[in-house]
Structure 1
Amino acid sequence: MQINTGYHEFRIAGLDSRMVEALWSFKPERADDHRVLPDGRIDLLMRFNLLGDDRILDARPVIAGPVQRYATVPAGPATGFLGIRFRPGWGAACLGLSAHGLRNSALIWAEAKAALGALAVPLLRAGSLDELQCRLIGTAQTLTGRQTSSPRHARVIHAVQLLESSGGRQSVVVLADEVGISVRTLHRDFTSVVGLSVKSFASIIRFQRAMRLLHGRPSMALAALAGECGYSDQAHMTRDFRYLGGFTPSVPPAAPIINLPL
């Protein structure tokens, strides 16, 4: 495997696409604080030092929880990242962790190693990118292979899919009715399974959709973009962009942006 500069996603055969969204890599172009956008997902990733070819050194695990707004990660061109991104609602279930407990936080190094248990051993011993990729995929296969969905979990995953298909526009009342539970139960179960509230997750979906449209159709008027994505007006969209991404729709950030799902 060759890790190219920038952020890249790969679809991997053999991984359950219901639970795993992508394998991804990131190699910074320069030393900086690199921006990570919220996407409502949980990632299992390895951070390592690059030795100029396929060899790596000092690989360390990280389990990154779902966040409500952007974060910055300091890294330079000698650093590489390789990760598995779980679909919303599946990461904590596969890892046997609390999604709510991971909200706006991450397990780093020793904490992530302890959470992975014996599964961490082959990851830490990988000496090359090819080895690390194979072992990370194998770890994901093990995690997804032992996972079963309860009725409560299945209802929340259905709610996630309805929110995603509506672009975050589905109201909580309609959503609860669609999945057959009360609004109160939906709020409780959604936060427990996904790690974020329904409102926060819907905001992230709108923001991610607006980002994709902004990148794909840069000439689109911002007022039209706001209407297309379900914001009440352009000012509402700008407020969300500032909070979630740390920038405005009219001023694209200079720093690289990673975690922008397809």
Structure 2
Amino acid sequence: MYYKTFDPASELRELIKCYWILESPEEATPERQTIVPDGCMEMIFHYGDLYRQYLPDGNNILQPRCFVIGQLTQPLEIESTGITGIFSVRFHPGGFLPFTNVPIREMENTAVSLEQLFSNDGLEMEQKILNASSVTERIQYIENFLRNRLTDANTIDRIIKTTVETILTANGQLTIETVSKQTNVNRRQLERKFATAIGLSPKQLSKTVRLQATLKMLLSKQFTSFTALAHENEYYDQAHFNKDFKELTGLTPKEFYGDQLKMSALFYGTE
């Protein structure tokens, strides 16, 4: 299995966190993987075989070949149907807003095809990405496409940028009341702006960021016990830690610790 990340061009760095590719032959791909929310929307291109997505109601669907996945508020279970070949654009929280007219909140937990989002322009760009012979070509095509759609780099306002930075710096451990005081913006205003730009409330983003910080410690084995891990990441108590963990991963910390951790790290940000 081959996984690698790439930096975006300087003028897109405020909006795009990175590009990544994942390639794997059929026999080396795990049967099912759990994708954990990380606060970042993704634009996915399957130049390999498609992935099956398992729904909360027990049914499953094939994901579109090319799509944007909205903000996740719950674990996403997927499974390869063959050979894996994925190119992805991972946006910063709020980073996808300048490129679409579709309300971000309406995309929650949903894979939306590029045709739905960008019409014929999306279909044309899909073919370029899928038929490209290298990751360098794919990055060139997607950056040209996104630059042409970027009418205003300042679409994400100062309040959103400042608040997101505050949440990230604190690893999601601050209360929303504290965040509101530090940014000097009232809570209701923050929630309205976050719903529009990010598709999550400040509390949801904080919960997600704190979990990601916890997963990084799990991945690097920087903890002595799950109780110590909960304390280190400033959960109220073990019950609070277990509740948030299961809500976002679908498993308890003990159940999750293993192969799932590594695969989730590959797909969603805990590099």
Please indicate the TM-score interval, normalised by the length of the shorter structure.
Answer: 0.7 to 0.9
Instruction: Summarize the Cα distance change of 1:142–1:32 in structure 2 as closer, same or farther, 3 Å threshold.
Output: farther
What is the CA–CA distance in structure 2 between the aligned matches of 1:65 and 1:26, rounded to whole Å?
Answer: 20
Name the SS for the 1:45 alignment partner. strand
CA RMSD in angstroms comes to 2.4
> Which ranges of structure 2 fall in alignment gaps of 5 or more residues?
50-63
**Which residue identity lines up with residue 210 of structure 2 in the other structure?**
R
What is the CA–CA distance in structure 2 between the aligned matches of 1:231 and 1:23, rounded to whole Å?
Answer: 32
> 4+ residue runs of structure 1 moved beyond 3 angstroms?
12-15, 140-143
Instruction: Summarize the Cα distance change of 1:106–1:221 in structure 2 as closer, same or farther, 3 Å threshold.
Output: same
What is the CA–CA distance in structure 1 between the aligned matches of 2:77 and 2:21, rounded to whole Å?
Answer: 16
**Which residue identity lines up with residue 8 of structure 1 in the other structure?**
K
Match in the other structure for 2:78 = 73
**Which residue identity lines up with residue 104 of structure 2 in the other structure?**
A
What is the CA–CA distance in structure 1 between the aligned matches of 2:144 and 2:224, rounded to whole Å?
Answer: 42
Q: Is the 8 A contact 2:73 2:248 kept in 1?
A: yes
Q: Is the 8 A contact 1:35 1:70 kept in 2?
A: yes
Which is helix-richer, 1 or 2? 2
State the Cα distance separating 1:209 from its structure 2 match: 0.2
TM-score of the aligned structures, taking structure 1 as reference length: 0.83
What is the CA–CA distance in structure 2 between the aligned matches of 1:13 and 1:181, rounded to whole Å?
Answer: 32
Match in the other structure for 1:259 = 268
What is the 5 A alignment of 1:195-206?
Answer: 195-206=199-210
Encode CA deviations 1:109-158: one digit per residue, 9 max, x unaligned. Answer: xxx22312425413314423414343123323434x433325x7321121
| Number of residues of Structure 1 aligned to a counterpart in Structure 2 | 245
Instruction: Summarize the Cα distance change of 1:6–1:180 in structure 2 as closer, same or farther, 3 Å threshold.
Output: same
TM-score of the aligned structures, taking structure 2 as reference length: 0.81
What is the CA–CA distance in structure 1 between the aligned matches of 2:226 and 2:32, rounded to whole Å?
Answer: 28
Name the SS for the 2:214 alignment partner. helix
What is the CA–CA distance in structure 2 between the aligned matches of 1:45 and 1:129, rounded to whole Å?
Answer: 17
Match of 2:68 among 55, 63, 76: 63
State the Cα distance separating 1:107 from its structure 2 match: 0.3
**Which residue identity lines up with residue 194 of structure 1 in the other structure?**
I
Match in the other structure for 1:116 = 118
Instruction: Summarize the Cα distance change of 1:7–1:77 in structure 2 as closer, same or farther, 3 Å threshold.
Output: farther
State the Cα distance separating 1:84 from its structure 2 match: 0.4
State the Cα distance separating 1:219 from its structure 2 match: 4.7
Instruction: Summarize the Cα distance change of 1:60–1:243 in structure 2 as closer, same or farther, 3 Å threshold.
Output: same
Question: Equivalent pairs: percent with the same residue?
Answer: 19
Q: Is the 8 A contact 2:214 2:229 kept in 1?
A: yes
What is the CA–CA distance in structure 1 between the aligned matches of 2:258 and 2:177, rounded to whole Å?
Answer: 36
State the Cα distance separating 1:186 from its structure 2 match: 1.3
Instruction: Summarize the Cα distance change of 1:135–1:223 in structure 2 as closer, same or farther, 3 Å threshold.
Output: same
